[in-house]
């Protein structure tokens, strides 16, 4: 408290000495940890707040724009800091980097509060444990994103109530992954396989899936397969019949979806999927960012068994002369940067609703991703009949797209097919850049071209200057 605030308070105390009852009144609408975490409703609301913090995190800037799948797009002068991410020249004062850091640590901070305070609450034990499990999953998810964008980051695991908890130094990448694995293992023990209501909350399958992904990123292929087998043993997931249907309102309830972000349409407060606004053409009131590249289009060289284009291409992006939404035809003039736009988060307009109120979900993890991870892990482990065994889950994904079974017969050729299949299947779901980084120097430099310079152990974006200034432990 500043000096003049103290003087003012003492003066008022003297003037109001005859009204001591007024001064004894507790503040209305303000809570400490001690008086907030007292009911099941409060604990549930605290966890809901963690989910809500995921709403604005722009993972697409790193997963797509930093990869060979997209460029910034949009108006040339708009959001210029994204261009520096696109060409790998971003500095510590980059606003997009700073915002991503702040938003992700906000999620972690909310999760830390739940993990610290909810376990001691006198509420239903099953609900209590599940809520803490949800918080641990969301904390692990946040650190997984941070460690793959920045590498070493502060591993903050406690409420930000003391200087020691706020000023935390950098942890090694291995230590961050250890914590991710710990959080997910503990979440698996208490999360349900499914929900009869309150759908959209994280499940046991989501925790197994993210743990398998963390294993894959560390090249722990046997452990990855163990967790994928555990996920499949839950018998909760299967591929949807139609790929394009996954990117429409209501698709969040598909049996293919393992973890993602749901949106609501609320005319009083726009809580819809804002990626629709970011990616849609200006003719629909959008900003036409995240423009797909010709390189992405060229990945679809293989025709389906009828000789037609792979249906995932036009389900993922808009191309000149192809059907768009609302019975219109896409025009390459809508995308100044490349002539293409992302289609996955747009949809036929709902009468009376703005595009900011779209309820098209974002799928971070689908069962198709799990099948491709399984194929990759089996192939990388090698051994007897590894190629034939790895082809089984790979061909499940290809079959849904109408493609013939792969003819790859060696580990090297199958590796190339799996990697290209990931690009086509998961395009604009924000995985591509991270895949390139984990595949190593040759894959990254081949895909990203002369603008990209590999730095051992891999390329990371700089920590934001604001954090370097504020965190004394750095």
Domains of the chain, CATH where assigned? 38-191 (1.25.40.390), 263-294+303-360 (no CATH)
Instruction: Name the residue with higher pLDDT: 10 or 376.
Output: 376
Q: pLDDT value at position 22?
A: 40
Q: What is the average per-residue pLDDT within 318-331?
A: 94
The C-alpha angle with vertex 364 and arms to 116 and 249, in degrees rounded to 5, equals 115
Our measurement of the distance from residue 429's CA atom to the centroid of its chain's CA atoms, rounded to an integer in Å, reads 8
366 beta partners: 257
- 253 touches 245 (CB < 8 A): no
pLDDT by residue (tens digit) across 358-413?
888 999 999 999 999 999 999 999 999 999 999 999 999 999 999 999 999 999 99
Of 302-316, 367-381, 448-462, minimum mean pLDDT range:
448-462
Is residue 147 a contact partner of residue 213, using CB atoms and an 8 Å limit? no
Q: What share of the chain in percent tops pLDDT 70?
A: 91
Mean pLDDT (whole number) for 337-360? 82
**∠ at Cα 72 (358, 256), nearest 5°?**
45
Residue-wise pLDDT tens digits, 63-104: 999 999 999 999 999 999 999 999 999 999 999 999 999 999
pLDDT of residue 17: 35
Q: Is the pTM of this model over 0.75?
A: yes
pLDDT in tens, 246-293: 999 889 999 999 999 998 876 555 678 889 899 999 999 899 999 999
Helices 125-150/173-190 angle, 10° precision: 160
What is the arithmetic mean of pLDDT over 309-325? Answer: 97
Per-residue model confidence (pLDDT) at position 288: 96
**CB-CB contact of 238 with 205 (8 Å):** no
229 has a pLDDT exceeding 60: yes
């Amino acid at each position: 408290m500043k000096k003049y605030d103290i003087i003012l308070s003492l003066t008022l105390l003297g003037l109001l000495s005859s009204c001591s009852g007024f001064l004894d009144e507790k503040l209305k609408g303000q809570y400490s940890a001690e008086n907030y975490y007292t009911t099941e409703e409060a604990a549930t609301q605290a966890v809901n707040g963690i989910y809500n913090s995921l709403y604005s995190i722009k993972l697409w800037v790193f997963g797509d724009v930093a990869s060979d799948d997209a460029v910034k797009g949009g108006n040339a002068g708009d959001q210029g800091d994204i261009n520096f991410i696109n060409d790998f020249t971003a500095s510590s004062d980059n606003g997009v980097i700073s915002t991503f850091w702040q938003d992700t640590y906000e999620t972690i901070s909310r999760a830390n509060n739940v993990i610290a305070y909810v376990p001691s609450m006198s509420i239903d034990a099953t609900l209590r444990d599940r809520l803490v499990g949800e918080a641990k999953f969301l904390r692990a998810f946040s650190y997984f994103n941070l460690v793959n964008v920045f590498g070493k980051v502060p591993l903050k695991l406690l409420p930000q109530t003391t200087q020691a908890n706020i000023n935390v130094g950098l942890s090694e990448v291995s230590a961050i992954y250890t914590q991710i694995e710990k959080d997910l293992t503990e979440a698996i023990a208490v999360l349900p396989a499914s929900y009869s209501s309150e759908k959209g909350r994280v499940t046991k399958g989501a925790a197994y899936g993210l743990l398998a992904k963390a294993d894959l990123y560390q090249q722990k292929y046997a452990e990855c397969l163990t967790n994928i087998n555990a996920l499949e043993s839950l018998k909760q997931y299967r591929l949807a019949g139609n790929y394009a249907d996954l990117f429409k309102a209501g698709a969040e309830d598909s049996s293919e979806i393992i973890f993602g972000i749901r949106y609501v349409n609320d005319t009083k407060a726009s809580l819809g999927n804002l990626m629709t606004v970011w990616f849609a053409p200006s003719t629909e009131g959008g900003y036409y960012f995240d423009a797909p590249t010709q390189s992405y289009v060229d990945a679809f060289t293989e025709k389906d068994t009828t000789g037609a284009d792979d249906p995932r291409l036009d389900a993922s992006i808009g191309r000149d002369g192809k059907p768009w939404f609302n019975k219109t035809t896409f025009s390459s003039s809508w995308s100044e940067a490349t002539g293409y736009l992302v289609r996955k988060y747009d949809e036929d307009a709902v009468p009376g609703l703005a595009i900011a109120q779209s309820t098209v979900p974002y799928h971070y993890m689908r069962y198709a991703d799990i099948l491709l991870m399984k194929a990759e892990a089996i192939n990388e482990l090698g051994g007897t009949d590894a190629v034939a065994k790895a082809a089984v889950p790979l061909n499940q994904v290809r079959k849904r797209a109408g493609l013939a079974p792969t003819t790859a017969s060696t580990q090297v050729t199958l590796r190339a097919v799996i990697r290209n299949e990931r690009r086509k299947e998961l395009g604009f779901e924000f995985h591509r850049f991270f895949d390139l980084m984990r595949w190593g120097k040759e894959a990254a430099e081949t895909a990203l071209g002369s603008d990209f310079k590999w730095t051992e152990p891999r390329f990371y974006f700089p920590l934001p200057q604001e954090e370097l200034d504020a965190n004394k432990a750095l």
